[in-house]
Amino acid sequence: MSVLSSCNDLDRPGEVAHVGNGELPVVVIRPQQGWPLPDLREVWEYHQLLYFLIWRDVKVRYKQTVIGIAWAILQPVMTTIVFTVFLGRLAAAPSTGVAYPLFVFTGMLPWGFFAAAVGSAGQSVVGNERLIAKVFFPRIIIPLAAVGAALFDLMVASTVLLAMMAYYGVVPTLGIVFVPLIVAILLVLAVGVGSLLAALNVAYRDFRYVVPFFLQLWMFATPAIYTQTSSLTGGVLGAILPLNPAQGLIRNFRSAVLGGPIDVYSLAVSSAVAVTAAFVGMFYYKRTERRFSDII
């Protein structure tokens, strides 16, 4: 929506002026055409705002609750217990020889992060209506902050994973080094899908109802609480499944934590899909963000 340039150097759009030696930054506001690129430099200039919005989301979420931050732990733990009882005991879902609770938890932990991140990012722009209508800042910060707050919860809940691994005597193998990478790609995917949904939600409030439903379907399409047998992971189906980016990421997250083999093919395909989704989402967001304050 605007072009930054330095005071004495007006006709070079795209140039960012640096404040210092008495030079004032110059902003030229004019209508924007076409598909603008997300301006990462501008986002970096506002990194303190990103930090404070994440901090606010985390802080506010657990204000006036009795157990506070423990909710971040309790949620994946409760889901794990439910699935362990109903699927592990009653339905006897086959797992991979790992203790079923640990198996479920290693799926629910990354999925829970992803679902929470996408869900809250999808609502974030509409939820921060007043900020959007009253102050300028790079708009992408809003869904980024929502994903950041979910990442914080993931880190808190990870302590439970460590405790469970210790309890079941699982010794991490070298594969554990993949964990940060997989989480990072999951984060990129969440930002992409979340910002796309957030932008759509501004124009079409229908997405408020679509998102939870869509996440539930996605969860069942992803091996978060079940495993895919070798008949599924081989052949044509095995080649197609990682096109669901959550499939390759969550499957390999589990392997990386529990010391199973990393499936390079599914990890690579899912990562590529995730990065593509991030680009699509962020471009759509950038394209529509200038209309946010008019139509929100």
Partner 1 sequence: MQPSIRVENLSKRYRLGTRGGYRTLRESVSEAVAAPFRRLAGRASAEPIERESREWIWAIKDVSFEASPGDVVGVIGRNGSGKSTLLKILSRVTEPTEGSVRLCGRVGSLLEVGTGFHQELTGRENIFLSGTIVGMSRKEIARKLDEIVEFSEIGAFLDTPVKRYSSGMYVRLAFAVSAHLETEILIVDEVLAVGDVAFQKKCLAHLQRASQSGRIILLVSHNMSSLQALCNRAVLLAGGRVHAAGEFRDVMATYYRSLLVPAQGASDSTFDAPRAEGMSPIFRSATIVDDQGRTTNFVPLCGIFRLQMTLDLPALDGSGIINVGIDDLLGQRMITIRSPLESPELLENAGKVELECRVDELPLAPGDYWIKVSVRDRTGWLDAVEQAVYFTVGDGEVFDEGRRFLSGRLVVRSRWEQLSRSVEGVI
- Name the residue nearer to partner 1 (CB basis): 179 or 290: 290
Pairing of strands 25-29, 2-6: antiparallel
Concatenate the DSSP letters of all residues of 151-201 into one string: HHHHHHHHHHHHHHHHHTTPPP-GGGGHHHHHHHHHHHHHHHHHHHHHHHH
CB of 132 to partner 1, least distance (A): 8
Residue 189's identity, in one-letter code, is L
Least distance to partner 1 from the beta carbon of 47, Å?
A: 10
**Which of 37, 60, 91, 237 is close enough to bind partner 1 by CB under 8 A?**
60
Give me the 115-154 binding string for partner 1, x by CB under 8 A, dash otherwise: ---------------xxxxxxxx-----------------
Q: Under DSSP, is residue 67 helix (H, G, I), strand (E, B) or coil?
A: coil
**Which three-class secondary structure state does DSSP give residue 213?**
helix
**Is 67 among the residues that bind partner 1 (CB under 8 A)?**
no
Angle at 101 between CA 253 and CA 90, to 5 degrees: 125
Binding mask 14-53 for partner 1 (x = CB under 8 A): -----x--xxxxxxxxxxx---------------xx--x-
Distance CA 126, CA 80 (A): 31
Q: The tokens 């501004």 sit on which residue?
A: 202
- Where does this chain touch partner 1 (CB under 8 A) — which range of 59-67, 110-118, 260-268, 279-287? 59-67
Binding residues for partner 1, rule: CB under 8 A, are 1-2, 7-8, 10, 19, 22-32, 48-49, 52, 55-56, 59-60, 63-64, 130-137, 202-206, 290-291, 293-296
